[in-house]
Amino acid sequence: DVKVTQSSRYLVKRTGEKVFLECVQDMDHENMFWYRQDPGLGLRLIYFSYDVKMKEKGDIPEGYSVSREKKERFSLILESASTNQTSMYLCASSSLAGGSSYEQYFGPGTRLTVT
Amino acid sequence: AQRVTQPEKLLSVFKGAPVELKCNYSYSGSPELFWYVQYSRQRLQLLLRHISRESIKGFTADLNKGETSFHLKKPFAQEEDSAMYYCALSPRFSGGYNKLIFGAGTRLAVHP
């Protein structure tokens, strides 16, 4: 079974703090993704990575950065947290597509509250 | 622009009634389409993909390219089907990254 784990289920941070969200997958997947999930908006892609040290912006990268130093680990960084970044953050991983889309496996999510 | 629209935020039905969760997409090429489901306190998971043409937990979905739709159907809803359902689109040959574009989601509530 694919396992995608996220470092925290719940996190409360203050405005202006630097926040690190960690994601680890154990299936040697090449692709990893960070989404935020908001009611009425669905899932929106923040960043994704298709290889170690490689990253691509998603649809809403502003205010976020990412790091992928090892294949199994993908970190999302909020440089200076703001209240509008209060959300559920989901990490996902998948195999390299090669012309067809493979299933994305999701972590349990981190509910971040910025006060 | 690539977009997935799920027009209903909430769909409420009684047990045994037919269910249809609507999904429309906007994409100029030939997409791959998926339904993902999130049950209460569980992680988001794949329910089915159009390319497999399979029925999962009694659900089916047919890709209608003319109407650009991929509606999810089940003839007889069960209480355990209550969940959040997301339709998602992946552009074909998207460079191997298999990015997904999600709709806003529809919450299905099945009442006894």
Query: What are A4-25's pLDDT values in tens digits?
Result: 999 999 999 999 999 999 999 9
Residue A109: pLDDT band with limits 50, 70, 90: very high
Average pLDDT over residues B7-34: 93
Mean of all residue pLDDT scores within chain B: 91
Q: Does A108 touch chain B (CB under 8 A)?
A: yes
More confident position, A38 or A97: A38
Is the separation of the CB atoms in A49 and A55 below 8 Å? yes
Q: Phi-psi region for residue B104, left (φ > 0), alpha (ψ -120 to 50) or beta?
A: alpha
**Residues 34 to 53 of B: which have CB under 8 A from any A CB?**
34, 43-46, 49, 51
Q: What pLDDT sits at residue B92?
A: 63
Our CA-based measurement puts residue B102 at a distance from the nearest CA of chain A, in whole angstroms, of 6
Residue A101 predicted with pLDDT over 70: no
Over residues A89-101, mean pLDDT:
76
B44: chain A residues, CB-CB within 8 Å: 43, 90, 92, 106
Q: Does the pLDDT at position B97 exceed 70?
A: no
Cβ contact B99–A58 (<8 Å):
yes
How far from chain centre, in Å, is Cα B52?
Answer: 14
Closest CB to B97: pick one of A41, A97, A107. A97
Kindly report the nearest CA distance between residue A12 and chain B, in angstroms: 20
Position B31 scores a pLDDT of 82
Where residue A44 falls among pLDDT bands split at 50, 70, 90? very high
A100 interface with B at CB cutoff 8 Å: yes
Q: How far is B90 from chain A (nearest CA, A)?
A: 7
Is the CB of residue B94 less than 8 Å away from at least one CB of chain A? Answer: yes
How much is the pLDDT for B19? 97
Residue A8 CA to residue B43 CA, distance in Å, equals 14
pLDDT at A115 over 90: yes
Q: Which of B64-92 are b and which e, b meaning 16 or more Cβ less than 10 Å from the residue's Cβ? A: eeeeebbbbebeebeeebbbbbbbbbbbe
Query: Who's near B4: CB < 8 A, 6+ residues apart?
Result: A42, B23, B24, B25, B26, B87, B88, B89, B101, B102, B103
- % of chain A beyond a pLDDT of 70: 94
